[in-house]
Structure 1
């Protein structure tokens, strides 16, 4: 998968999310940038990226884009399978602004999975997205 596709997916997801959030008046609730959430400081600052950038995306890719998507594709239309997987994945992320962003990302990741007929493309894009988000969150938390 070419790197420009990863960049395109993340950039398009951010732009579409900002436009949809503005149109729907969706805003983040409260202030979540507190170092108390890190708990044990540097230990979690090391473990969290490994988990959120590698392990969690792999598990989500296997569950949603390998098991669920493939199961649905064998039983229904590609369009319905795409919608069910995309909405289900976004719904597990609970917070509306996050759900909106994930809904858009998930759509792109599912398209990558279908296009390449492999988990590699969607997993790489998912890991890059999580690395960006996790890095930004850690920088924000550690700088306060």
Structure 2
């Protein structure tokens, strides 16, 4: 089985990624295209991967909220729509499952992807795992809010001064 990166290291991945848009894979658990996942009568052991142009309306977000894992595809590292999708799932739905970044995922993105709610990362093949693990520690202070910090730095400082 291939490995998947998390902030605490490389882990064996139990999920198989299938990009086949016509048929469900025999092996489960599997990550499948969103349309195929939606059309499936039996979603046991299936998780959807969302293309970057997915519109997350309230109905879809509620349905996705029941999944153990959601994969969000980055067709190019310059496509930032996946960041928004992860943050919406965390903040609006309170999604507690695994959100995975797949596709053109580079080391430079990891720190920010994690701040937006991603838990696991399928790095592009040419990326170094040791460099990737160091990337999670790139910054020690967060100025802005994120799913991991709901107060901006100035708000934290004001609160600390008034205490």
> TM-score, normalised on structure 1?
0.27
Would you tell me which structure has more helix in proportion to its own residues? Answer: 1
> TM-score, normalised on structure 2?
0.25
Would you tell me which structure has more strand in proportion to its own residues? Answer: 2
Higher RCO (Cα < 8 Å, 6 or more apart):
1
